[in-house]
Amino acid sequence: MESGPAIFAGTAFSLFGMGLLLWTGTRVLHRAPVVYGVRPAAAATFAASLGAAFMILGVWCFGRI
């Protein structure tokens, strides 16, 4: 009964983190700005670290099952 919310949260966090990492990687590969008006290195680093944090949070949620 309690594993349902953990599965939902783990899936949501993992999908969002994976999407953010893929989007950031694609933008960096094409040398397109990740965020307009921000230095490219700072924006890519911040977005990649948030994507990794969401992936870790998703794995943690799956570990709680």
Q: What is the pLDDT of residues 14-62, one digit of tens each?
A: 999 999 999 999 999 999 998 999 999 999 999 999 999 999 999 999 9
Position 1 pLDDT exceeds 80:
no
Q: What is the pLDDT of residue 3?
A: 82
Q: What is the pLDDT of residue 31?
A: 92
pTM: 0.85
Helices (H) and strands (E) in the chain, counts: 2, 0
DSSP secondary-structure letter at 2?
T
Position 2 pLDDT exceeds 80:
no
User: Please, which residues have CB within 8 angstroms of residue 52's CB and are 6 or more apart in sequence?
Assistant: 17, 21
- The domain ranges of the chain are 3-63
Pairwise pLDDT comparison (21 vs 3), residue with the higher score = 21
